[in-house]
Amino acid sequence: MSSDATPIEPPAPAAPAMSAAPAAPGTTVSTAPTILVVEDDPEVRTFVAATLDAHGYAHQSASTGREAIALAATCAPDIILLDLGLPDIDGIEVVRAIRAWSVVPIIVVSARSEDADKIGALDAGADDYVCKPFSVGELLARIRATERHLAIATAARAADPAGARPASPAGAPGATSFSASAAPAPAVFRDGGLAIDYSAGVVTLDGAEVHLTPIEYRLLCLLSRNVGKVLTHRYILDQVWGSRDDSAPAGAGGAGRPAGQAGDLATLRVYMGSLRKKIERDTAHPRYIQTHVGVGYRMMSV
């Protein structure tokens, strides 16, 4: 695992490994999801690819974390199979990076079998965890289970084309849709002079790069994925610092958040103020991030 924290430079967009030609009239079009296989061991990668081929799944592959993040952003796979022991960055960091802008289902496939590794991956945003060595039957069963979730989400969207769903208090979003295929996230977000290259982890303002801390970047990504929506303080804290545990004793990190492990409202305000200084031309009259006193924050479309 590398500790290199330099911006992730994406490779040129790759075409799907099993791209389908337009279907002839009367031909049934496969609805099998496209799967991104992230694995640095060529033998395991070949084995998984052959398994997916044999069962009719379209797939792509990546051997590094940076390549995985770039493909996730540019090609919008339906499911990701992710190894944790990658040569450039740890797989858990890949999960966190993708979760900053996408809800694509991620199934970790790793030789790490300790509970701490499983908990760390799931808390970072993974949806499932498979330990190596694994059987073909188990891997395919996990994929089918994920497909069922995708089908449920697709049916819900079809029944409610407007995308209406119960909102959390004060307009904060409710549970995030499980599937990323409903509206594939663009590789680059643009709002006025502000641009976020999700795959590269780079933010620019009027063409000049803006240097953000990891927390500032996660805040900005969260807001950019919810333009026009008011995000409550609690929702932001849970998404950026992790879900609160109300059974835990209160500490400097806020009620239910152990000190030093999560954020509180005062910390959120400090980071939000710092972020504004970097992206707003006039912090007294912000264009991008609007404060809703006592409620939360909203990113505006400029």
**10-residue stretch averages of pLDDT, the chain, 302 residues long:** 38 37 42 89 91 93 93 90 95 91 91 91 92 89 90 71 40 35 64 90 92 92 88 86 49 37 76 94 89 88 86
What pLDDT is attached to residue 121? 92
What pLDDT is attached to residue 188? 87
What pLDDT is attached to residue 76? 86
Which residue carries 């599937």 as its tokens? 179
Query: Per the structure block, which two tokens stand in for 38?
Result: 């992230």
What pLDDT is attached to residue 25? 45
Q: Considering only CA atoms, which of 86, 87, 83, 74 is closest in space to residue 106?
A: 83
What pLDDT is attached to residue 256? 40
Bridge partners (DSSP) of residue 197 are: 188, 202
6 phi and psi, to 5 degrees?
-70, 155
What pLDDT is attached to residue 243? 54
Say if CB 272 and CB 289 are below 8 A apart: yes
* Tally of CB atoms within 10 A around 35: 24
Check: pTM over 0.95? Answer yes or no: no
What pLDDT is attached to residue 37? 97
Query: Per the structure block, which two tokens stand in for 239?
Result: 């998404």
What pLDDT is attached to residue 281? 87
